[in-house]
Amino acid sequence: MTLYRARVSDTPVSPFSGGTLRADSDAGLLVEAGTITERGPFAEVAARHPGEDVVDLRDGLLVPGLVDTHVHFPQVRVIGALGMPLLEWLDRCALPEEARLADVGYARGVAADFVSGLVRAGTTTALVFGSHFAPAVEVLFEEVRRVGLRVTTGLVVSDRILREELLTTPDRAYGESRALAERWHERGRTRYAVTPRFSLSASDAMLDACASVVKDVPGAWFTSHVNENLAEVESVRELFGDSDHYVDTYDRHGLVGGRTVLAHNVHATDDELALLAAQGAAVAHCPTSNSALGSGLFPLRRHVERGVRVALGSDVGAGTGFSLFKEGLQAYFMQQLLRDEGLPLTAAHLLHLATRAGAEALGLGDTVGDLSAGRQFDAVLVRPEPGSTLEVGLRHAADDADAVAKLFALGTPGDVAQVWVAGECVTG
């Protein structure tokens, strides 16, 4: 058992439905075998457990482990390309790099870079777009298991539009997906996600094969892209027929449900939002990616008002880094830019989007997402260097919400001092 003494902020109740920031300047968190078994004022918890090992973290700010609901494993080395819209960026930047993962040795290096990028940013749970190559997905799972993160991922499948090396057939996609799921689904902290790249690159036969994997792997997740870019939306409409909206291309294969996370949804129709809400699917909002590719301003207010669940994704490598603090800040900026159509976000909203909302979107709300008793101890200690602007800001914060706002405005992976998953320190 370990008793952590810390300044803690989290958001157990959604600020989108009346919750507020929960902040304790001197909390005691008793952790037994990875689970928080007691939480309260430090003095009270300590009095109940005299002689317990105390780890004093009050030189930093402790928040729940961050949850990234959309991030691409093969793209860690191509972050930062500027000046291209989605389809050109895929052709010129992302897909040539993804083709390199045919070499499993190369993929192993990328997996190490990728997992280390997540950990350094304080991300403890992620829904990850895997690779088009099964051996590369295998090495990703191995690296994730070695480090101890909670990751849901799978083989990315496509049978048209993309460069030849990245294409497969529905039969092969089914077989390789099943084999990977057999080894990794619901083993420890890993789970399997059925992952057609997007319906633009996946025929109806391929989406049918995806539906078969979802059916044959109980508890499997489904993830893909939707309504990201206007040219992409138009091409999908041409391929699938005018009457269908983009979300329907998945839904008519039974792929939109409570274990579905669709990335982007910038250009959603009201009908699509109604469908996503009715089926309980979640949307991964990826603000730096939407900005970098010029995809558009995410209609968060329309999602929230229609009851669609939303969490944050970094969308590395179109997104500009792994930090969900940066994504939260960019989400805030975009809502400001939408003016009357925007949803003004507070610090509590940002922390919720980066933690609890992600946990709920990934069906892990009972396990992680806040630092209540009963949850796993997945946590991030933010401890900026003395004299750094974040450290100055935290020292002079007007109140706890102001401190969290400063964390999102100024926090970087360089400020992440320690990260735990299920009570295990994963930062070494």
Query: Cα–Cα distance between 214 and 192 in angstroms, integer?
Result: 9
What separation in angstroms does the CA of 415 have from each of 119, 325, 349, 355? 12, 11, 21, 17
As measured in angstroms, the least distance from the Cβ of 223 to ligand GUN is 11
Which of ligand GUN, Zn ion, none does residue 253 bind (CB under 5 to 8 Å by kind)? none
Which of ligand GUN, Zn ion, none does residue 90 bind (CB under 5 to 8 Å by kind)? ligand GUN
The DSSP result for 323-358, as a single string, is: -HHHHHHHHHHHHHHTGGGS----HHHHHHHHTHHH
Interaction residues for ligand GUN, span 143-182 (CB under 6 A) = none
Q: Is residue 285 a contact partner of residue 314, using CB atoms and an 8 Å limit?
A: no
Tokens representing 390? 């974040």
As measured in angstroms, the least distance from the Cβ of 62 to Zn ion is 30
Among 73, 198, 240, 420, binds ligand GUN (CB under 6 A): 198
Among 265, 289, 314, 418, binds ligand GUN (CB under 6 A): 289
Query: Cα–Cα distance between 379 and 161 in angstroms, integer?
Result: 41
Nearer to ligand GUN among residue 185 and residue 197 (C-beta): 197
Q: Does 86 interact with ligand GUN (rule: CB under 6 A)?
A: yes
In the 8-state DSSP scheme, what is residue 214? Answer: H
Window contacting Zn ion (CB under 5 A); options: 15-23, 188-196, 205-213, 309-317: 309-317
Nearer to ligand GUN among residue 206 and residue 318 (C-beta): 318
Query: Cα–Cα distance between 210 and 177 in angstroms, integer?
Result: 9
Query: Cα–Cα distance between 393 and 409 in angstroms, integer?
Result: 10
Window contacting Zn ion (CB under 5 A); options: 113-121, 163-171, 245-253, 314-322: 314-322
Window contacting Zn ion (CB under 5 A); options: 22-30, 79-87, 165-173, 255-263: 255-263
Q: Does 315 interact with Zn ion (rule: CB under 5 A)?
A: yes
As measured in angstroms, the least distance from the Cβ of 200 to ligand GUN is 7
Which of ligand GUN, Zn ion, none does residue 329 bind (CB under 5 to 8 Å by kind)? none
What separation in angstroms does the CA of 85 have from each of 98, 159, 195? 18, 22, 22
As measured in angstroms, the least distance from the Cβ of 300 to ligand GUN is 18
Tokens representing 68? 């990234």
Which of ligand GUN, Zn ion, none does residue 240 bind (CB under 5 to 8 Å by kind)? none
Residue 387: which residues within 8 A CB-CB, separation 6 or more? none
Query: Cα–Cα distance between 219 and 356 in angstroms, integer?
Result: 21
The residue count for binding ligand GUN (CB under 6 A) is 11
Among 143, 228, 327, 370, binds ligand GUN (CB under 6 A): 228
> Where on the chain is the footprint of ligand GUN (CB under 6 A)?
72, 86, 90, 94, 197-198, 225, 228, 289, 315, 318
